[in-house]
Amino acid sequence: MTEQKRPLLITTGEPAGIGMDVVLNLAAEGKLQDFDRPIWVTADASTMQVRAEELVSAGVLTEVPIWQTIDNEAGDFDMDAAEQIAQQDIDADSAFILLNVPCAGPVTGGQINIANSAMVAQQLDIAHQLAVNGTVAAIVTGPLQKSALIDAGIKLLDGTMFSGHTEFFMQQSGCEKVVMMLANQAMKVALVTTPFAIKRHTCCHHRG
Q: What is the pLDDT of residue 2?
A: 46
Please write the tens of the pLDDT for every residue from 77-102.
666 666 666 666 667 778 999 999 99
Q: Is the residue at 187 inside a domain? A: no
pLDDT reading at 206 higher than 80: no
Q: Is the residue at 124 inside a domain? A: yes
Which of these, 33, 146, 174, lies nearest to 94 by C-alpha position? 33
Written as one string, the DSSP assignment of 104-148 is SS--BTTB--GGGHHHHHHHHHHHHHHHHTTSSSEEEEPP--HHH
Q: Is the residue at 55 inside a domain? A: yes
Please write the tens of the pLDDT for every residue from 42-79.
999 999 999 999 999 999 999 999 999 887 655 566 66
Q: What is the CATH number of the domain that holds 54?
A: 3.40.718.10
Q: Is the residue at 111 inside a domain? A: yes
Q: Is the residue at 196 inside a domain? A: no
Query: For residue 86, what are the domain limits?
Result: 8-178
Q: Is the residue at 185 inside a domain? A: no
Q: Is the residue at 136 inside a domain? A: yes
Which of these, 13, 95, 81, 79, lies nearest to 47 by C-alpha position? 13
Domain count across the chain: 1
- Total-model pTM: 0.85
Q: Is the residue at 207 inside a domain? A: no
